[in-house]
Structure 1
Amino acid sequence: MKNMVLYAGIAGIAALLVNFLITLVYYEPRPFATYHTSILIPHAADDSFPSDHATGTFAMAFALWVRNRKLGSAMILCAVLTGISRVWVGHHYPGDIAASIIVALFTVWAIQKIKGLFDPAFSMLIGWYHDIWAKITKKGYK
């Protein structure tokens, strides 16, 4: 389970890095900035494409789905709701969300291709976690 969470975190971070690289070469104003409409929740008038919120949640959800279909499916539903909410409040276009899904899928696919590089580091981190937790619980801290 801990390994699965680490992969989901790496997927989310990597996908957001891809988003950052995209924003360096392509700019799309947010819908409320283009159409000068009132929005439900205030937001900076920065780049809209792709949605960071949707990209992060879809990347983590897909990474979880690869390792646990039941949990991953529930998280994909949460990611879909996140994407819908971003359009609903006027922060993104539907195409921004679609691009986020593509970025997330690509990122998780790429991580799956090189997952052997992460396994030793994740095993070490999990080992450290268990060692620290064992020391804390031996001293009576709970």
Structure 2
Amino acid sequence: MATPTLIKVRGYHLDLYGHVNNARYLEFLEEARWALLEEYGGVQWYAERELALVVSRIDIRYKRPATMGDELLIHTRLATLGEKDGVIEQRIVRQDNGKLVAEAEVTFAVLHPREQGAQSLVGELGERLRRLQYAVEGA
């Protein structure tokens, strides 16, 4: 099971109202996706093949604000894998009480710099990505 990513809310994450700025959630979610990929996907494997996972869409639903000092757990897993894209589900919860702060669906594709369009998610690439599908921990 994947280890959730822990983020502590700092002053520079906040907007004028003392809440985490909406743009910061994008960074929190990205940090958790990188952590998942490092844990289950083998970042080096992608780098050696010049493959890049790129985001094509993000849908974030904010449920409650996070504020200074909150410790947030981000649970991340691959939800679906299609022919040329996939969807990663992410949930941000407060560590102290488990309350949902935000949830997101992130659509991605895999690109290669010398090939046109998204790569087919089959073979070894598909198998590596499928490892992320079972990486869920208590979310």
Normalised TM-score (structure 2): 0.28
Larger radius of gyration: 1
Normalised TM-score (structure 1): 0.27
Higher share of residues assigned strand: 2
Higher share of residues assigned helix: 1
